[in-house]
Structure 1
Amino acid sequence: MAVDSTGFTATFWYEKRDHPKLWTWYLASHTSLNNMWHLQDLVERWEGKISLALFASSSAQAKVAAALMFTIAQLCPSVRQRVFFHLVCQSGDQAVFPELEDQAQFAQLRTCQAVFAKAASMGSHIVNYAGNASYPNNLLRNVAKVGIGSTTFILVVDIDMVPSERLRSKFLELAAQGVDTHTVFVVPAFEIRHTRRLPGTKEELLRLYQVGEVRAFYEELCSRCQAPTNYSAWLNLPERSDRMAVAYVVEWRDPWEPFYVGNKDVPSYDERFKQYGFNRISQACELNIAGYTFAVLDSAFLVHKGHKLPGDFHSQKDAENKRNRQLYRGFKEELKLKYPDSSRRC
């Protein structure tokens, strides 16, 4: 159990069953109770281990979260074998093995599908980013990374994003040829309408992109936040064999916040950033100043479920963004002192 300066307690629950050399790349993610049901798609698509940090904003939520994790592990063999859960609570809240009364609402469930349907139903009554506790997204990302243990590469994604098919195995083939530890491998991110089946291959993605069902991630909300990925170049790459490769290298530009496969030693996320705004941008900014190279993979991608629309956000989003913008300005000044010999700036 570890308590950090943000006032949250991280409790790590997992069991390692495999020799670490057999599992050299993990996916890390984070969620609150209302989005827990997205784990089902993630487990179905990702072929390796997953480290998931689950946030409970109150003592009551912690009890429900513990019972839900226990039930999912009981009814879903793929989750039990491949997902490491990390329950994150506010300092002072107690996370304990679920009592019988806490498990009562799940007692009648008999299948994996049923428990995820229950999770989705529960989530519809929980408002994300609301309440007395700020959602500590960067703390959760760090907890998921630390909870992985011995590994070489990590891909950190939001819980409602799904990777392309065989992303893990194809990247391992690429990495086997030798990669620079000071390079992060950018995975272009897209968003799709809720009504569509999630594409697994680039060919499927391109077909949906051409008819407007898929578009660049954050295209309507903040196109600059993903622009350096250079979607036009990526979409028009010549067809390749089944092998994955680096398509091109790009320079970081503010406010780019790429998703990427990185070495386990990349800088941690700054845990002062909570709620909405600058949480991933700040970490990408540090990667740039620390001298990392940004290499875009040619066939890997992520798909966010649903188009991001301005009206979909909570009422305090703008105020949170403004507060985190101020924090980001100070953060950049701190980086000048942390990396005095770097010629790069954000």
Structure 2
Amino acid sequence: MGGSSATGADGRTHQITLATHTTINNLYHLDSLLERWKNPLSVAIFAHSQDVKFATALVYALSVFCPQIQALVDFHLVCHSGEMASFPEQDREQFAGLEDCGGVFAKLETHRDKYKNYAIGGNVSYPNNLLRNVARGGTDATYVLVIDIDMVPSADLPQQFLALLKTREPMFDEVFVLPAFEIRHDRKMPASKSELVQLYQVGEVRPFYEELCPRCQAPTNFSQWINLHSPAVGQLEVAYSLNWVDPWEPFYIGPRTVPLYDENFRQYGFNRISQACELHVAGYRFSVLSSAFVVHRGFKVAGEFHKRKDEENRRNRLLFRSFKEGLKTKYPASLRRC
């Protein structure tokens, strides 16, 4: 697998991979994500019932017709045991009329509104943390950025981050936070911090989850980040460090050794915060990068979620309580709690 690598200040060779997860209906986002990232990607796809065959065929088609995907993307198909993920002859009709990469993505687009990730139906739970772990496990890069497939990072992030590692030796217990934003659906994704700040100042971009859970991102300290004295264009620095506070859910680049996500969390609620809480208890420090960021496509607004969201959130809140108790046993020497 190609991609950037760099020898860090510690003499080790570092590489970075982006790990993401999706159902087949959101896989069309891969096009814009890869166009921006341009480096190795590990994608875990969850499919069930009839979608398993469709997902298998379309992933095969992406690998055949899209050279950049062939070069940079590893796919990992996750389905229920007993569901076939083979590629039998009778599924070849999925290829009828496909001639190029654009055609494959056009076919994926036709599938996009079949259901939302969390409303699959048939009493099927979307195993987001399992998928994150599968995607993470699909790479041996020294650093991994885990984001959802409908998010896009700032431009040239892999090269800038690896350049940063050449100048400073990261702590083994350090993760690098990317402030997270959301943008109006019809706006072009900003590539640089200066573009992002312009959109932020006119309300076209806002902090991620600002309407639904402002506290979940507020500890990032957006006003401090926006007003930073920026280093040279294209140069990345650690701007400031933060202690984790409940209920912060930072997106970050971390060493591949960070604790895995707890796979008991499925559907909506507490899936990422449980891992951030564990990082805190395990002693990690959160270093905010000066000009790198991630942006979610579309404003998250109340009322747009699937019907069972609140019920799932309640179930996962109870699970989170027992998860936190378990951390006391897992890290008996830690004085940190969450």
TM-score (norm 2): 0.94
**2:10 maps to which residue?**
none
- 1:99 maps to what in 2? 88
Aligned to 1:278: 270
In structure 2, distance between residues paired with 1:86 and 1:20: 23
Structure 1 equivalent of residue 280 of structure 2: 288
User: What secondary structure sits across from 2:303 in the alignment?
Assistant: helix
Indicate which of 159, 171, 178 corresponds to 1:169.
159
Which among 177, 181, 184 is matched to residue 193 of structure 1?
184
Structure 1 unaligned segments of length 5 or more: list them.
1-15
**What SS is found at the alignment partner of 1:197?**
coil
- Aligned counterpart, 2:297: 305
C-alpha spacing 1:19/1:47, structure 2 compared with 1 (3 Å)? closer
Deviations 1:252-283 (A, max 9, x none): 01111100000010000000000000000000
SS at match of 1:24: strand
| 2:305 is equivalent to residue 320 of structure 1 | no
Q: Is the 8 A contact 1:62 1:89 kept in 2?
A: yes
How far apart, CA to CA, are the structure 1 residues paired with 2:273 and 2:230? Answer: 31
Contact 2:25 2:115 in 1 (8 A): yes
Asked whether 1:262 is paired with 2:246, we answer: no
Unaligned runs of 5+ in 2: 7-12
CA distance in 1, matches of 2:160, 2:208: 23
2:146 to 139, 156, 159: 156
Residue 215 (structure 2) aligns with: 224
How many Å separate the matches in 1 of 2:188 and 2:116? 26
* Residue 65, structure 1, aligned to residue 55, structure 2: yes
Structure 1 SS opposite 2:79:
strand
Quote the offset at 1:111 in angstroms.
2.0
The separation in 1 between residues aligned to 2:3 and 2:149, in whole angstroms, is 24
Q: Equivalents in 2 of 1:23, 1:294: separation in Å?
A: 19
Q: Which residue does 2:109 correspond to in 1?
A: 120
Structure 1 runs, 4 residues or longer, greater than 4 Å off:
16-23
**Structure 1 equivalent of residue 9 of structure 2:** none
Residue 312 of structure 1, CA deviation: 1.2
Q: Is the 8 A contact 2:4 2:15 kept in 1?
A: no
Aligned CA distance change for structure 1 residues 237 and 19 (closer, same or farther; 3 Å):
closer
Deviations 1:262-319 (A, max 9, x none): 0010000000000000000000000000000000000000010000011111000000
Does residue 28 in structure 1 map to residue 28 in structure 2? no
Moved more, 270-279 or 110-119: 110-119
- 1: distance between equivalents of 2:187 and 2:63? 28
Q: CA deviation at 1:95?
A: 0.9
Q: How many residues align?
A: 328
C-alpha contact (below 8 Å) 1:20/1:151 kept by paired residues: no
Check conservation: 2:45, 2:75, Cα contact below 8 A: yes
Question: TM-score under structure 1 normalisation?
Answer: 0.92
Distance 1:250 1:276 in 2: 26
1:25-58 residue CA offsets vs partner (Å, 9 max, x unmatched): 1000000011010000111000210000000022
CA contact 2:281–2:337 (8 Å) conserved in 1? yes
3-state SS in 2 of match to 1:51:
strand
Matched ranges for 1:173-252 at <5 A: 173-177=163-167, 178-241=169-232, 242-252=234-244
Using the TM superposition, give the Cα deviation of residue 239 of structure 1 relative to its aligned residue in structure 2, in angstroms.
2.6
User: Which of 111, 127, 134 is the matching residue for 2:100?
Assistant: 111
* Structure 2 Cα separation of the partners of residues 324 and 163 of structure 1: 28
The alpha carbon displacement at 1:23 in A equals 7.0
- Contact (CA 8 Å) 2:2, 2:39: kept in 1 or not? no
Cα drift, residue 19 of structure 1: 11
